[in-house]
Amino acid sequence: MSAPRFPTYFLSHGGGPWPYMKGPMREHYRLLERSLQDLPAQLPERPRAVLVVTGHWEEDAYTVSSSPAPGMVFDYYGFPEYLYHIQYPAPGAPTLAERVHGLLSAADLPARADAERGFDHGTFSMMKPIYPDADMPIVQLSLRHGYDPAEHWRAGQALAPLRDEGILIVGSGLSYHNLSKFGPAGAEPAMQFDGWLRQTLAAGPEARREALMHWAQAPSAREAHPREDHLIPLMVVLGAAQDDPAVCVYGERFMGVAASSFRFGVDRTPTAFDQLAA
């Protein structure tokens, strides 16, 4: 019996180490948290491991974390001291890292492994609600300098076989990422770009690829993403998604701006949460 094919995801991961926060700010993440907690119920079975394409790691070659026990990367600032001592002790998966490296290299894409890289907050803040027991093996994949959307799409195509090998591929970013304009100043640009993104992802495979290769021409694109590090993980997961349709699995006005997350592939019976995400 063949293994089931896994969907791919582009997830808005929120800000900083939010699952570990205490106090009123934590309440802003209620709906995002519920969407992430719902994710395992959307899968055909429990994955063998998760490959996270993180918007918080950029190298001159696609770099895969290969430590069996990754540490932590506290890549944020201005938070209380206790948030620089948290731990998310999920295991790594060196065998998966080797497989990812091999698939990228076979596609003539520059690739290397990094045995020192720990989990950045684009990974651990997202994975904490999904797998709170930190018992799911995780491998991270970097973006490549230049943010070429076509090349990152091709990287996703190279990684597509993992979906039939029990691996969940997740792109971690934000559908809106302009830190200087969260709140009222960013509300209209975020809504315009989010509307374009939803419409584009709902289109047929060729139409959505063509549109996303020229994403900077979208309404308010550069106001939503002055630097596209939090958008480019979407290109990788779409390359891996092939022709699979998109479903919005999270959407709200988050701290004044529109934010969304998407799943590609694997139809299922909707859960109660889907009504909130629509």
What is the tens place of the pLDDT at every residue in 137-178?
999 999 999 999 999 999 999 999 999 999 999 999 988 887
- Distance from the first to the final alpha carbon of the chain: 35
124, 88 contact by CB (below 8 A): yes
Number of domains in the chain: 1
Q: What are the φ/ψ torsions at residue 113 (nearest 5 degrees)?
A: -110, 155
More confident residue, 181 or 187: 187
* Residue 30 forms part of a structural domain: yes
103 falls within a domain: yes
Give, in order, the Cα–Cα distances in Å from 224 to each of 32, 186, 217, 220: 19, 8, 12, 6
pLDDT at 167: 98
pLDDT classification of 268: cutoffs 50, 70, 90? low
The answer as to whether 133 is a domain residue is yes
Q: How many CB atoms lie within 10 A of CB 25?
A: 13
Q: 89 Cβ partners below 8 Å, 6+ apart?
A: 69, 134
* Residue 234: inside a domain: yes
- Domain presence at residue 2: no
pLDDT given at position 179: 65
Percent of the chain with pLDDT over 70: 94
Q: Which domain holds residue 161?
A: 8-277
Residue 181 banded pLDDT, cuts 50, 70, 90: low
C-beta separation of 231 from 177 below 8 A: yes
Is 60 inside a domain boundary? yes
- Residue 1 domain flag: no
20 Cα distance to chain centroid = 19
277 vs 67: which has the higher pLDDT = 67
pLDDT band at 14 (very low <50, low <70, confident <90, very high): confident
Mean pLDDT over all residues of the chain? 92
The strand pair at 8-12 and 257-264 is best described as antiparallel
Q: What is the pLDDT of residues 53-86, one digit of tens each?
A: 999 999 999 999 999 999 999 999 889 999 999 9
Average pLDDT over residues 261-271: 75
C-alpha dihedral, 247 to 17 to 178 to 36, nearest 10°? 10
CATH code: domain of residue 212: 3.40.830.10
